[in-house]
């Protein structure tokens, strides 16, 4: 009797084990396929910018950018600022998922642990800064249209046709390093080829009398692709004395430092 009942039970147990293994295999395959699809959907672009001192064309540092896009939309951005001798000056991370023009971001200077950035809270857009171990912040109102940090690049790309037509664009810019927000305007200056591609140069300056006291920033974009080619003005990287560099940052189309150094038209 015992043998008669043992055999069916063992057969049932074996069949159940086989089904569980099959289900686990199917589940593993589904999860693997899902993970592969998620990875495949992320598009990565890398870009290097070369920052030169405007007074003597000396290479100050490079900007090593890594962009991550999902379904064509920029979602994350990493930047390493590397000195001419190879030392890491600062790093910055940005997250555009909440707002493409005003991303969450954090810049940290590796030399003195200076930090600046912005983050979203339930009450608004919080700017923050840490200097000499002293932390300060300012909360900007939620719901207002603004640009901040590298989100400005996306703003220009999205309004490039309007700017090329000669339309002046005004916008509110959050400046984390100064814990403030100011109105700026962008204006077309000229259209001249740069690095062998058709390009247009725009001036960014305060949309108030502050422009008489603050230096303007000139940016050049490729008119066919909307890609940033050159930035000229004060940067967010400081020299050893704590003053922001005044630089010409080149983003050559072929990534060549030689092309960047010559500023080839």
Selection from 45, 72, 90, 86 nearest residue 228 by Cα: 45
Residue ranges in 42-173 assigned as alpha helix (H): 151-158, 160-164
Contact yes or no for 1/9 (Cβ under 8 A)? no
Tokens for 74, please give them. Answer: 């920029």
Residues 2-41 have pLDDT tens digits of: 455 444 444 334 445 445 555 555 545 444 444 544 455 7
116/109 Cα distance (integer angstroms): 9
Q: How far apart are the first and last CA of the chain?
A: 95
The larger pLDDT score, comparing residue 228 to residue 8, is at: 228
> What's the CA gap between 187 and 180, in Å, rounded?
22
Q: How many helices (H) and strands (E) does the chain have?
A: 4, 15
pLDDT tens, position by position, 186-227 = 999 999 999 999 999 999 999 976 665 578 999 999 999 999
Residue with tokens 């971001």: 105
In tens, the pLDDT along 134-180 reads 999 999 998 889 999 999 999 999 999 999 999 999 999 999 999 99
Q: Where are the domains of the chain?
A: 43-103+145-262
Tokens 């037509």 label which residue? Answer: 165
């Amino acid at each position: 009797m015992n043998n008669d009942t043992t055999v069916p039970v063992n057969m049932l147990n074996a069949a159940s084990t086989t089904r569980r293994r099959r289900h686990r295999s199917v589940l593993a395959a589904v999860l693997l396929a899902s993970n592969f699809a998620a990875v495949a959907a992320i598009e990565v672009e890398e870009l290097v910018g070369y920052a030169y001192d405007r007074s003597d064309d000396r290479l100050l540092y490079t900007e090593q950018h890594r962009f991550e896009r999902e379904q064509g939309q920029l979602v994350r951005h990493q930047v390493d600022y590397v000195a001419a001798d190879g030392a890491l000056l600062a790093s910055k991370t940005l997250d555009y998922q909440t707002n493409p023009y005003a991303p969450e971001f954090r810049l940290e200077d590796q030399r003195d642990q200076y930090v600046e950035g912005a983050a979203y809270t339930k009450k608004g857009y919080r700017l923050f800064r840490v200097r000499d171990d002293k932390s300060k912040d300012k909360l900007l109102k939620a719901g207002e249209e603004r640009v901040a940090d590298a989100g400005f690049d996306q703003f220009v790309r999205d309004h490039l046709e309007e700017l090329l037509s000669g339309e002046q664009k005004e916008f509110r810019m959050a400046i984390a390093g100064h814990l403030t927000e100011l109105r700026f305007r962008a204006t077309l200056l000229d259209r001249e080829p740069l690095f062998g591609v058709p390009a247009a140069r725009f001036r960014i300056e305060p949309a108030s009398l502050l422009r008489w006291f603050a230096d303007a920033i000139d940016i050049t974009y490729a008119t066919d692709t909307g890609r940033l080619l050159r930035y000229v003005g004060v940067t967010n990287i400081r020299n050893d004395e704590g003053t922001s560099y005044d630089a010409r940052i080149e983003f050559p189309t072929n990534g060549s430092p030689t092309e960047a150094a010559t500023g080839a038209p």
